[in-house]
Amino acid sequence: MGPDLEIQTMTPTQKVAAFLIVLGPTTASEVLKNIADDDLLDKITMDIASLNKVSTEILNSILEEFKTFFQASNYLSSGGMDYAKELLEKAYGTDHAKKILDRLVVLMNSNPFQFFNEADPGQLATSFQNENPQLIALIMAYLKPEHSAQVLNYLPADIQAQVAMKIAEMDTTNPEILSEIEKIVESKFSSVVVQDFSKAGGVESLANILNHAGRVTERNVIELLEIRSPQLAEDVRELMFVFEDIVNLEDKAIQRILREVDTKDLAMSLKGTKEDVKEKIFKNMSERAQAMLRDEMEYMGPARAKEVQEVQTKFVGIIRTLEVSGEIIISRENNEDELID
């Protein structure tokens, strides 16, 4: 961009790019890590790369704009729409306040229920227990998978299964019906702006949540799904990665994963596993590392099943993180994203 850039002509992603540049590389990188929309991330990254010179006046205007949005967001989360509207009108006038809130609602549309990511999973599960499983599923489908997994772990077994079924079966929902759900959520749980729930859930969403849940929860849900809907259980299982699937990973992927796991956790995770899993791990270690691992396993002695499952879940979490970052590839049956010569 040239020095004659005007703030009125800047796109939202250009403003975000300028804001991140002001924040500096360390903070900016942390912000970028939390942008789940790949297309949006690409646009912001491209704008960061293409911005050459932005005047101090424009930067100050952008900072003021972000400050206003953060302020409005805090008002919304602490007191709801009416409270935010009242305070913003006092600070900026009726017309400007309306513009701020309208834009903020649009920005929040893609991330409904995000307030619940900050709530304690145990308390959240307790408050959900008497709610309709469809409502619980709707909220959980929008939370971070690791947070939904924790909530799912705390729910009673029968509710786990019902919620899991609802998440997997979710598709498109009438926005008018969902506006009523917004009112229920606001009055029962918190003052949260919730809009456009039309796309959430599905088999992939449930598989992602179960990948982050404990082995006990994972097994419980899959077993109950098999009883109620064998095909759904199979669809979910195909999208999941469980500890024993390590045998299907390429050697390079195993070697990359092992760099993230300490010997003690690795020894614990291999307790009671099939020989082919152990062989896959040992095969991708140096002789010295193999000897250390065998010594650790022998020294450790018998381990409680729950402890082994917890470490295996942690192990799978590392694998999933590396897959999301693109450092390893998990091959699945019927994978349409095959390499073509």
The model's confidence at residue 38, banded by pLDDT at 50, 70 and 90, is low
> Which whole number is the average pLDDT over 303-310?
80
Q: Are 191 and 83 a contacting pair, CB within 8 Å?
A: yes
Q: Indicate whether 334 pLDDT > 70.
A: no
pLDDT at residue 284, as a whole number: 94
Structure-token pair, residue 110: 């893609």
pLDDT at residue 327, as a whole number: 87
pLDDT at residue 179, as a whole number: 53
Q: Indicate whether 339 pLDDT > 50.
A: no
pLDDT at residue 104, as a whole number: 63
pLDDT at residue 282, as a whole number: 94
Phi-psi region of 30 (alpha: psi -120 to 50; beta: other; left: phi over 0): alpha
Most confident of 3-7, 18-22, 95-99, 249-253: 249-253
pLDDT at residue 255, as a whole number: 93
Q: Count of CB atoms within 10 A of residue 29's CB?
A: 11
* Model confidence pLDDT, tens digit, residues 122-174: 878 887 877 888 888 887 877 788 888 888 988 988 889 888 888 888 765 54
pLDDT at residue 287, as a whole number: 92
pLDDT at residue 193, as a whole number: 33
* Model confidence pLDDT, tens digit, residues 188-205: 665 333 333 344 457 777
Q: Indicate whether 258 pLDDT > 70.
A: yes
> Which whole number is the average pLDDT over 316-331?
80
> Which whole number is the average pLDDT over 66-79?
70
Structure-token pair, residue 92: 């900026």
| Between residues 182 and 290, the one the model is more confident about | 290
Helix, strand, coil share of the chain (percent; to 5): 70, 0, 30
pLDDT at residue 252, as a whole number: 92
Q: Count of CB atoms within 10 A of residue 274's CB?
A: 11
Q: Average pLDDT over the chain, rounded to whole? A: 75
Q: Indicate whether 280 pLDDT > 90.
A: yes
pLDDT at residue 201, as a whole number: 57
Q: Are 320 and 211 a contacting pair, CB within 8 Å?
A: yes
> Which whole number is the average pLDDT over 210-221?
74
198: helix, coil or strand?
Answer: coil
Return the H-helix or E-strand segment holding 160.
Answer: helix 157-169
Assign a CATH topology to domain 114-239: Annexin V; domain 1 (1.10.220)
The model's confidence at residue 254, banded by pLDDT at 50, 70 and 90, is very high
Helix axes 145-154, 121-128, angle to 10 degrees: 60
Query: Which range among 144-158, 183-197, 278-292, 298-312 shows the weakest confidence by mean pLDDT?
Result: 183-197
User: What's the 3-state SS for 286-324?
Assistant: CHHHHHHHHHHHHHHCCCCHHHHHHHHHHHHHHHHHHHH
Assign a CATH topology to domain 243-324: Annexin V; domain 1 (1.10.220)
The model's confidence at residue 272, banded by pLDDT at 50, 70 and 90, is confident
In the chain, ranges of CATH 1.10.220.30 domains: 114-239, 243-324
Q: Indicate whether 2 pLDDT > 50.
A: no
- Residue with the two structure tokens 């912000």: 31
From residue 9, how far is each of 14, 40, 252 by CA, in Å? Answer: 10, 19, 48
> Which whole number is the average pLDDT over 217-241?
79
pLDDT at residue 185, as a whole number: 66
Could you give the CA distance from residue 240 to residue 187 in angstroms, rounded to a whole number? 36
Cβ-proximal residues to 305 (8 Å cutoff; 6+ apart), any chain: 272
| Between residues 9 and 167, the one the model is more confident about | 167
> Which whole number is the average pLDDT over 182-191?
58
Please give the DSSP secondary-structure letter assigned to residue 54.
Answer: -
Phi-psi region of 55 (alpha: psi -120 to 50; beta: other; left: phi over 0): beta
